[in-house]
Amino acid sequence: MFKRLIATTMVLVGSGCQPDVSEQAQAELMANSLQMQYELISNQAPNGDNSVCLELGAEWATCNQFDILLTANDNGVISSNWTIYFHSVRRLLDIKSDQVTVVHHTGDFYEMRPTADFSGIQAGETLRIPIIGEFFEVGKSDFLPGAFVVVGESEPRQIVAMDTEDLNAIVLDIPETELQRTSDEASVNETSALRYEQNIALGDVPAAAAIFPTPVSATFSDENIAVPAGFQFSQVELSAGAFDALTISADRQGIELNGEFPIIAVIRESDFADEAAVSGAYRLSITPDGVGVSGFDERGVYYGLNTLFGLMNDQHLPLGDVLDYPRFDYRGVMIDVARNFHSKEFILRLIDEMSFAKLNKLSLHLTDDEGWRLEIPGLPELTEVGAERCFDLTEQDCLLPQLGSGASTDNFGSGYYSRQDFIDILRYAQARQVDVIPEIDMPAHARAAVVAMEARYNRLLAEGDTMGANEYRLIDPADTSNVTTVQYYNRLSFINPCVASSTRFTEKLLFEVASMYRDAGVRLGHWHFAGDEAKNIKRGAGFQDIASNELVDFKGAIDLSNEDYPFEKSPACQILIDDGVISSAAELPTYWAEKVSEMSVAAGFPVFQAWEDGLKYADGAQDFASEQVYVNFWEMLAPGGSSTAYDWAAKGYDLVISVPDYLYFDFPQAIDQQEAGYYWATRANTLQKVFGFAPENLPQNASNSVNSHGHGFSAESDRSVQDFAGMSVQLWSELVRTDIQAEYMMYPRLYAAGERAWHRASWELDYTPGTTFSLNDGLVDQQAIQKDYTLFLATLGERILPRLHQSGANYRLPLPGGVISEGELKMNTEIPHFGLEYSVDGGVKWERYNASETVVVDVDSVLARTVADGRYSRVVIISSK
């Protein structure tokens, strides 16, 4: 085991190079001529012998087999003076080749070099390098682009064939036999025929809903009134920023606000009582004499006016009344801009769409191991080093490449928001009734900050400023704890909570971020501490001690005597244990959370927020200095989370349901190897699954969904009734590299989440202790869900997505469903009002599909795609098989 996983360096040259050709020229040559690809061989252990995975120390003794293919296209590779640096989101456990060795640097960053036995690669030939990796590979996005080459002391050069977002170019098709992770997995891979049958089951297409999200009540007569000259405000109680945002929204919809039809829009709390007396509530009345809007607050006025604009149809308005208010106060979106950076323009477009869907909390995950994305005055290294990823093994100028970012800084791996950018975002969001929540991850997921502050330490130390060097240093230099984080970093992934400089650093951050809010004129609200995953995975349940006399066959065997908990060997933290402040190092994340809560209150942030595991050693919300403590609950509902969520709420926390198996948008949108995303909690979070989520009665979701392996599960309502503060969707960005990809993952699922966060459907049952739900149990009205979903799809296709299309944002077009039956091609699509096209000649010529005509084809399979005003879905195959 591990026979070829060694620490070293390496470089790459071509056979066509003459001895006097420079190393740089050799690197250029090889970068342009070498092809590198991945091929999944099996998602099982070699020869089905699971003891191999166990002995290699694979978590849960699960491993897969894949090959790296190196093809010399124009020039052979004969020198031993080359290095390829590449990325893998799975731990590489063993390499079965005498030709090359592979070494892990940190995170997903690896290097490969030839051995003394390397026999070269002749032009046109392929070297196949068998590798055993951890876990599974059932989607092409499990493999990362971004490999680059170094020759001797040359500058790195991206391998051109790997500098792509077309994963089909670098990942061979995964065999159908390997599309399920285990022999007992019941997940069904999506096909065109399956989509066709599912689309037929949706039934007839209704007219689009008049109001989105669905209001509490809306009563309209059969009459309408013409408004050809547009609207004129007689009175409007909105801030200047909100009115400007409203004007822009109206203009995009072609609505005139300097017209004639009068609008009175006022804040009047007295119009609302009981459950309607909440932020965002509004009343809308449309009469022949004009429009009246009253809001519980400015947010309600803004929502009411946008609802009015949405009712405009060919310069006509229906006459009637609307009463509307949200089910949740917290209707959230979390976007990770740390792992891979997403532009300011992307964020502003997202805010527009959140506002349209009446979503009101945007949590910006600004920092993580792979990047720091916010300028902090006085700490330039945070962005000069921590916001950049490039090839610098010393990490004094930038972080090491991660997540396919490659050698250079001119891509998604690098970037940050300046102080002014962030102020602009705050103001833009406030005008559109969206609260921005800064999330600065600590004590774990903090490698970008730690490395940046080490670069600062080294710079100031070299200048002779020892005191300044130590002022914001985030480690205990005497800490020798051996840890492996969830994403394979060492102890430099953690801010040490036991050293005074970490407190100074955090106070500095809080002060600087608070000043940005104040300069933007935006009220301070939530401070998101994150706090998640402060652990050594090798101390987790998926591993066992290799010295044990009772080894089991489903856990990786490792030397546990060599594994520590975070901070376990930090002398500074040992002092806290000796003094009785904490009883063990395991309590340090919660200890630090309580300290940061105190600091955030002092900085002016009244609300503290964290992911649940960061607070697990606290007794409840009363342990914190903050007025309110919000917790993002992110356990999987199956198994267990459908019960434990209520335990967290019972501790006094304002619980935000953020469960991965329904609300993580970095998960695939279908069970299909071409759909990107992680799948550790579920194989897919489809549009229909998000729409059908029941966020208040969590056990109910067992009635119409399956667990991570495709099996039905049972969920008992075995806790007392608790209220939740809201729900949030999450888009983590490890596998989401570009803005275009982020929008593909976000839309249209965002609108399904907006519907559920705002409106409680008739088919959502009250939480009743003692009730047990299971798949197809008959307890939930599935016909009502389908009816609502069909209406939602019609609204998407007719109103929402055409509007999004005009904004220029990317979104996922539904894939065609289809069959060829006795020579007749039949096609459909989940979301109506889109066109369909097919090709019988491999895509040379495309024909428009017309469902009202019989389409006869004389081939066994056709290519098909959905089309929307010049945009196309991914091409799929429809066959007669």
Residues annotated as part of the active site:
533
- CA 138 – CA 678 distance, rounded (Å): 10
Positive or negative: CA dihedral 356, 357, 363, 368: negative
In SS3 terms, 361-410 reads as EEEEECEECCEECECCCCCCHHHHCCCCECCCCCCCCCECCCCCCCCCCC
The DSSP result for 756-775, as a single string, is HHH---TTPPPP-TT-EE-T
Q: What is the DSSP letter of 816?
A: P
- Reference 750, options 808, 784, 800, 680; nearest CA is 800
The DSSP result for 647-663, as a single string, is HHHHTT-EEEE--HHHH
- Assign residue 61 a region (left: φ > 0; alpha: ψ between -120 and 50; beta: otherwise): left
- Reference 656, options 709, 618, 611, 615; nearest CA is 611
- Whether residue 593 contacts residue 653, with contact meaning beta carbons closer than 8 Å, is answered with no
- CA 71 – CA 74 distance, rounded (Å): 9
Those residues whose C-beta lies under 8 Å from the C-beta of residue 821, and which sit 6 or more positions away, are 880
Q: Which helix (H) or strand (E) holds 828?
A: strand 824-828
* Gyration radius of the chain's alpha carbons: 28
Side chain identity, residue 86: F
CA distance between the termini of the chain: 44
3-state DSSP call for residue 57? coil
CA 55 to chain centre: 33
- Whether residue 218 contacts residue 320, with contact meaning beta carbons closer than 8 Å, is answered with yes
For residue 508, report the phi and psi dihedrals to the nearest 5 degrees: -60, -45
The number of CA neighbours under 13 Å toward the Cβ of 118 is 24
